[in-house]
Structure 1
């Protein structure tokens, strides 16, 4: 009897994780656009799972910031306003600025710079080989995630990861020219160089310019998306 219960629990968990992974992938790859309604019945039929399983997955995605309640409680893919985009990237700048300061003050600064150069190489490769958008987003956010990890500050890292869902939605929903500019490897290389030099002031200035540019590019896209919705 305990074995049967455990087996049932495992199947339930697997189905929930499968639904969660499928829905998350559909959102972050742009299959679902910001503002799209996420109907439990349609999703359950498509994934061949129960509505309860879909409901649990959607609840988890709501915690990640990928899904928000709309009119009459219907869940939709999150859509950020230009103001929300600006605030999102201002918080990112504060977190990553702290990460920069802690990395530069660390005796392992050069090791951190080397690790970031490897992440930068992956981003450059994604652009030079014409990788798909999902791969470029992964490489871009991977660079910034590594920056936070290298700070050694677990609270900083956890807080940054809570912003990751909305960041993905903003980037994926932007027009190609806006997001390409925001993710460009040339915007990231100076950050790594400043860390390698131990130049904290320059690193902060470069990060500020990078985030300000992202706000201009992606906030504009959010405004356009809202007007055409």
Structure 2
């Protein structure tokens, strides 16, 4: 294979990986759904080889599972796996809140304040989808604000395995959770602005545990 063909193949594989990863983590493809190499190859306009390689990569990331002689499926995390992933989320986000509190008035603080203004409005009009999007943005800003590349890299992998965008909607379906979550975000930012690293880590970890409890309660209702 020529260097040009190699490059083209890598680009095609990358496009399939990005496209499938986005659909899985947002819930556009349901947990447990079968993934057909042939159907995906036709959909992406590629041969089956880049699809097969893309599925191997997504299996490494924990987003798909291959069942020998059965097929490939979108991973469905067990309650135990969700609990374990949230325990790691709590550690990473607590550390991120502490690091951000130590940095002072960085641009992410302004962005977080704007995020909370929009979140307050979304909660007031009972816009759960809008608020769910803002929740994701709040946590992303917190991680970026920590300014630690290694922490962010581990966090992104973790969020992909959780398919967090889908799970946050389940968490927010619990009565009163959106309002409580919004209040918790305000408290987190308040102590970060006060440059209180200890409190920032503590209240952030409290917030993640509360989110996990609401999520698990929501899954019990399914």
State the TM-score, normalized to the length of structure 1: 0.76
List aligned pairs for 1:9-24, cutoff 5 A: 9-24=6-21
Write the deviation string for residues 170-214 of structure 1: whole angstroms up to 9, x where unpaired. Answer: 516837614994694333222111111223343234223311222
- The 3-state SS of whatever aligns with 1:69 is strand
Q: 1:70 to 1:7 in 2, by over 3 A?
A: same
Work out whether 1:90 is the aligned partner of 2:87.
Answer: yes
Q: Which residue of 1 aligns with 2:109?
A: 113
> In structure 1, how many angstroms separate the alpha carbons of the residues matched to 2:46 and 2:134?
32
> In structure 2, how many angstroms separate the alpha carbons of the residues matched to 1:18 and 1:214?
33
> In structure 2, how many angstroms separate the alpha carbons of the residues matched to 1:39 and 1:208?
40
Q: 1:23 to 1:122 in 2, by over 3 A?
A: farther
Q: 1:25 to 1:43 in 2, by over 3 A?
A: same
Deviates more, 1:9-18 or 1:157-166: 9-18
Aligned residues: CA RMSD = 3.3
Write the deviation string for residues 72-114 of structure 1: whole angstroms up to 9, x where unpaired. Answer: 463221211122111111111111111222222x2x3232533
- Using the TM superposition, give the Cα deviation of residue 122 of structure 1 relative to its aligned residue in structure 2, in angstroms: 5.6
Q: 1:181 to 1:30 in 2, by over 3 A?
A: same
Please say if residues 90 and 209 of structure 2, whose CA atoms lie closer than 8 Å, have aligned partners that are also in contact.
no
- Using the TM superposition, give the Cα deviation of residue 67 of structure 1 relative to its aligned residue in structure 2, in angstroms: 1.6
Please say if residues 32 and 73 of structure 2, whose CA atoms lie closer than 8 Å, have aligned partners that are also in contact.
yes
Please say if residues 31 and 74 of structure 2, whose CA atoms lie closer than 8 Å, have aligned partners that are also in contact.
yes
Please say if residues 85 and 218 of structure 1, whose CA atoms lie closer than 8 Å, have aligned partners that are also in contact.
no
Q: Which residue of 2 aligns with 1:208?
A: 205
> In structure 2, how many angstroms separate the alpha carbons of the residues matched to 1:56 and 1:25?
17
Unaligned runs of 5+ in 1: none
Please say if residues 137 and 168 of structure 1, whose CA atoms lie closer than 8 Å, have aligned partners that are also in contact.
no
> In structure 1, how many angstroms separate the alpha carbons of the residues matched to 2:208 and 2:153?
20
Work out whether 1:145 is the aligned partner of 2:140.
Answer: yes
State the TM-score, normalized to the length of structure 2: 0.78
Deviates more, 1:137-146 or 1:173-182: 173-182
Work out whether 1:164 is the aligned partner of 2:148.
Answer: no
